[in-house]
A and B are shown apart, each in its own frame.
Chain A
Amino acid sequence: MIKVTDLDFSYKGSKTKVIKGINFHIKKGEIFGFLGPSGAGKTTTQRIIIGLLQEYEGSVEIMGKERKAWGREFYERIGVAFDFPNLYLKLTALENLQLISSYYKKKPQDMESLLERVGLLSDKDKKIDGFSKGMKMRLNFIRSLIHDPEIIFFDEPTSGLDPLNAKIIKEMILEMKKEGKTIFLTTHNMTVAEQLCDRVAFIVEGKIPVIDSPKELKVKYGNQSIKMEYYEGEFTRVEEFPIKGLKENSRPREILKTKDIKTIHSQEATLEDIFIKLTGRKLV
């Protein structure tokens, strides 16, 4: 669906490359996570693929055609929700959706059911300037779906949402995948990426050091261990043991026999741990 080959990009007037020869492909029906800290090149890459930034080098092939060769009909087939909700504040939620849908030739999806799905149906006739950030984010999310696109680009889709509404958005993204839609997810939220993405690409300083599924990354790069917390007199002590070779390790057995145990936990590396391990950077 999307194939990026040797992509380079620098902003006009700057000699520094923001994107440095990155390669990846996204299959139809896949949720592809693009993860990296601020300034890593996530948004720039997304905007090159979308077509907002045009002076790139290399190849960006989408739906079988080079990005630069697409005309405005391209936007009938993609949907975009940036991380900042930009809506017409003087219009109601429903009017916003009606306005956006009128830009497209395609028949719009049922607006009321979309509003209902994200819990905004009762607010459909309220002006946006009275909406909270979370409400705007939810409206912004469904705005990108109004013309039933094939590829959808989400930038931090759960940012500013409470856990309940974040769950609804994540469920909707997984349903879209089931319908065969391709999703390009830009985020620095590793939990969201882990829950949703089939594969993730780590991007740091314009380069992609690794692309794989979250599960494979954990197997390849994660260190599983057991953490034991026990009492020793007035104090609490903690010891950690790698799962690999645990049966040959006598120390955990000794603790179990001789100490009063407070907690025992199995430790799994998170995607964030792996990101730090592989890139030497934090996801800030």
Chain B
Amino acid sequence: MNKTLFKATLRANWLIGLFITLMLIMYTSIAITMFDPESADMVEGMLKMIPKGMIKAFGFSNLGTELTGYISSYLYGFIYIIFPVIYSVIVANKLIAKHVDSGSMAYLLTTPNSRIKIAITQAIYLASSIAIIFIINIVIGIILSESMFSGLLKIDKYLSLNLITYLVILAVSSIGFFFSCLFNETKYSLAFGGGVPLIFLVIKMLSELNTDLEWMRYMTLYSFINIDKILESSGYVILSSSIILVISLIFYILGIIIFNRKSLSI
């Protein structure tokens, strides 16, 4: 890894990272402060007025009286997917394809940095920046929950949920990174790197909207964020974490290999 390049990448991308972090902090804070076990009946009553399919599509299926389940349903069905995915798609595209497209990669490659070193540095930046966004929100989530509803948050389950969600976003980012390494033009990198996660999201929503389309959930990475299973079984967490991690590593490594070997239009 090259520290100078890492710092330069950080300086070029910190703002979007900050924006996504603040958005998630805002939603996390709202969700936790809104939690009121005594008004659960009222919330359920409100939910009954909305079509069931719609509620499921946006992941608000289980806004129960238990804090961990409530946070999970409120945030991890949609909000904790969409914002980090937007971040991953934009930044993954900027890290390689945009450098190639704009010509700055040509300059980088005329310094004593090898292609592999550049690609690894950019991959580490992407993975670690997403991790930092999650870590900040985990810490804030725990502090807020403990200060407002001491002892109600099942911290181990909350951490497991965040781990799986982070790894799913990592896998999405690896796909974006792969396309960023594959294409020399940002329009293709962005179209595929953004298109695939978008298709995954549509599949997820369709599979949750209609029971006839439930089989489609096996075709999207987001199905790994199965809140009920994560909260129930640590076996599921270990197994699914391992699978998503392998998927992420495969796409990151493939991207680095392709970038190292391909002809650059620079």
Q: Give Cα distance in the complex from A99 to B12, angstroms.
A: 13
Which residues from B are CB-within-8-Å of A50? Answer: 110
Q: How many A-B residue pairs have CB under 8 A?
A: 53
Question: Cβ of A103 and Cβ of B11 under 8 Å apart?
Answer: no
Which residues from A are CB-within-8-Å of B106? Answer: 47, 52, 82, 86
A82 and B103 in contact, given A88-B8, A88-B12 (Cβ under 8 angstroms): yes
**Is A238's CB within 8 Å of the partner chain B?**
no
Interface residues of A (CB under 8 A from B): 11-12, 47, 50-53, 55, 72-73, 75-76, 78, 80, 82, 84, 86, 88, 90-91, 99-100, 102-105
Question: Cβ of B266 and Cβ of A47 under 8 Å apart?
Answer: yes
A-B contact pairs, 25 of them (CB 8 A): A11-B263, A12-B263, A52-B106, A52-B110, A52-B266, A72-B113, A72-B114, A73-B112, A75-B110, A75-B112, A76-B112, A80-B110, A82-B106, A82-B107, A86-B102, A86-B104, A86-B106, A88-B8, A90-B12, A99-B7, A99-B8, A100-B111, A103-B2, A103-B5, A104-B112
Q: What are the 7 tightest A-B residue pairs by CB atom distance, in nearest-first order?
A: A103-B111, A80-B110, A86-B104, A72-B112, A102-B4, A75-B112, A12-B263
**Is B109's CB within 8 Å of the partner chain A?**
yes
Which residues from A are CB-within-8-Å of B8? Answer: 88, 99
Given contacts A76-B112, A84-B103, A86-B107, 8 further A-B contacts (CB under 8 A): A11-B263, A47-B266, A52-B110, A55-B263, A75-B112, A103-B4, A103-B113, A104-B112
The total of chain B residues at the interface (CB under 8 A) is 21
Which residues from B are CB-within-8-Å of A100? Answer: 111
Which residues from B are CB-within-8-Å of A73? Answer: 112
Q: How far is the CB of B16 from chain A (nearest CB, A)?
A: 13
Q: Give Cα distance in the complex from A86 to B37, angstroms.
A: 57
Least CB separation from B5: chain A residue? A103
Q: Give Cα distance in the complex from A12 to B262, angstroms.
A: 9
Least CB separation from A83: chain B residue? B103
Q: Give Cα distance in the complex from A51 to B2, angstroms.
A: 20
**Is B26's CB within 8 Å of the partner chain A?**
no
Q: How far is the CB of B179 from chain A (nearest CB, A)?
A: 19
Q: Give Cα distance in the complex from A88 to B106, angstroms.
A: 14
Q: Give Cα distance in the complex from A11 to B8, angstroms.
A: 31
Interface string of B91-119 (1 = CB under 8 A from A): 00000000000111011011111100000
Which residues from A are CB-within-8-Å of B12? Answer: 88, 90
Which residues from A are CB-within-8-Å of B124? Answer: none
Within 8 A of A (CB), among B1-33: 2, 4-5, 7-8, 11-12
Which residues from A are CB-within-8-Å of B103? Answer: 82, 84, 86
Max chain A Cβ within 10 angstroms of own Cβ: one of B8, B114, B266: B8
Least CB separation from B104: chain A residue? A86
A78 and B110 in contact, given A52-B264, A52-B266 (Cβ under 8 angstroms): yes
Q: How far is the CB of B59 from chain A (nearest CB, A)?
A: 37
Least CB separation from A153: chain B residue? B110
Question: Cβ of A90 and Cβ of B111 under 8 Å apart?
Answer: no
Max chain B Cβ within 10 angstroms of own Cβ: one of A76, A78, A100: A100
Which residues from A are CB-within-8-Å of B2? Answer: 103
Q: Give Cα distance in the complex from A88 to B12, angstroms.
A: 8
Which residues from A are CB-within-8-Å of B110? Answer: 50, 52, 75, 78, 80
Q: Give Cα distance in the complex from A12 to B264, angstroms.
A: 10
A52 and B107 in contact, given A86-B102, A90-B12 (Cβ under 8 angstroms): no
Which residues from A are CB-within-8-Å of B102? Answer: 86
- Residue among B5, B7, B107, B263 making CB contact with A80, cutoff 8 Å: B107
Q: How far is the CB of B111 from chain A (nearest CB, A)?
A: 4
Question: Cβ of B263 and Cβ of A105 under 8 Å apart?
Answer: no
Which residues from B are CB-within-8-Å of A72? Answer: 112-114
Which residues from B are CB-within-8-Å of A99? Answer: 4, 7-8
Which residues from A are CB-within-8-Å of B11? Answer: 88, 90-91
Least CB separation from B102: chain A residue? A86
Which residues from B are CB-within-8-Å of A90? Answer: 11-12
Which residues from A are CB-within-8-Å of B109? Answer: 51-52
A75 and B111 in contact, given A86-B103, A102-B4 (Cβ under 8 angstroms): yes
Q: How far is the CB of B2 from chain A (nearest CB, A)?
A: 7
Q: How far is the CB of A93 from chain B (nearest CB, A)?
A: 15
Q: Give Cα distance in the complex from A73 to B113, angstroms.
A: 9
Which residues from B are CB-within-8-Å of A84? Answer: 103
Q: Give Cα distance in the complex from A105 to B11, angstroms.
A: 22
Which residues from B are CB-within-8-Å of A12? Answer: 263
Q: Give Cα distance in the complex from A82 to B102, angstroms.
A: 12
